[in-house]
């Protein structure tokens, strides 16, 4: 073997693109390529698993939302049945099952919006109109009070409340619609309770007018609270009916 020359067994080369690359260099390239391939494969697998996890999380959240929606629907259904039971106990078969269902939805929706027991709203409706949608209010003298519908709302009051709710109230015909009357009445009652910072005073103002209550309070005159007691009696009657029916179901 001549000096300065490597043995052919030690310096075996391969030809790539016209250049000599020794086996040791080729092995390094193969190793690096393998590492890169492993890295990209691992990265792809991780990203794919993360996408699957996010997809599963989304499905879990959707299932939880569906479950919560179902629970709310069941709760609403139970509340509507409670309201219908209370009305039927007082009104019997005066209205159809569909009418009872529609009224229960109105009462539940509006009482929930303003945060009071649906049976309280029922009590006010019972005292005001005995659940007669086309009722027209009268004073003790027999003169018309100018109030209409289930919750006995006057057109001028309805227009004021309607503005705050984004509703356009035309007049008497609108107030004879239960879906309009109950919305306005529930909002007006809550407004009065908030203004006087008292459920009792708010209820009295609903019946007598806020101006009259302000005058009596300013003059330190005794308030007529018969309306307040009348509503409470109706409320506790409805509550006793629904509690009794609930107990029977549990047994």
Give the span between the Cα atoms of 134 and 9, in whole angstroms.
111
Domain 77-244 has CATH 1.10.530.10: yes
Domain limits, the chain:
23-56, 77-244
Residue 126 binned pLDDT confidence (cut-offs 50, 70, 90): very high
Residue 15 binned pLDDT confidence (cut-offs 50, 70, 90): very low
47 to each of 36, 54, 113, how far by Cα in Å? 16, 10, 45
Output the pLDDT for position 214: 95
Q: What is the mean pLDDT of residues 244-248?
A: 82
Share of the chain above pLDDT 70, in %: 80
Write the pLDDT tens digit of every residue in 65-117.
666 666 666 677 889 999 999 999 999 999 999 999 999 999 999 999 998 89
Residue 16 binned pLDDT confidence (cut-offs 50, 70, 90): very low
The structure's pTM equals 0.72
The pLDDT of residue 209 is above 90: yes
């Amino acid at each position: 073997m001549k000096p300065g020359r490597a043995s052919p067994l030690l310096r075996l080369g391969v030809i790539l693109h016209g250049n000599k690359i020794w086996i040791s260099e080729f092995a390094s390239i193969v190793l690096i390529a393998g590492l890169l391939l492993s890295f990209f494969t691992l990265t792809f697998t991780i990203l794919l698993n993360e996408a699957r996890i996010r997809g599963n999380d989304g499905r879990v959240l959707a299932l939880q939302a569906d479950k919560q929606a179902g629970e709310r629907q069941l709760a609403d259904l139970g509340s509507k049945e409670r309201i219908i039971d209370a009305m039927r106990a007082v009104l019997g078969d005066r209205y159809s099952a569909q009418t009872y269902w529609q009224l229960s939805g109105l009462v539940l929706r509006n009482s929930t919006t303003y945060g009071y027991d649906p049976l309280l709203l029922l009590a006010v409706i019972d005292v005001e109109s005995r659940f007669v949608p086309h009722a027209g209010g009268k004073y003790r003298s027999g003169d018309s009070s100018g109030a209409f519908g289930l919750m006995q709302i006057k057109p001028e009051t309805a227009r004021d409340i309607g503005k705050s709710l984004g509703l356009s109230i035309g007049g008497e015909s609108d107030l004879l619609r239960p879906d309009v009357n109950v919305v306005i009445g529930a909002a007006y009652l809550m407004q009065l309770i908030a203004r006087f910072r008292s459920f009792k005073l708010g209820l009295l103002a609903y019946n007598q007018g806020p101006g009259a209550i302000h005058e009596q309070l300013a003059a330190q005159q005794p308030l007529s609270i018969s309306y307040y007691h009348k509503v409470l009696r109706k409320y506790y009657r409805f509550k006793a009916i629904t509690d009794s029916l609930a107990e029977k179901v549990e047994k």
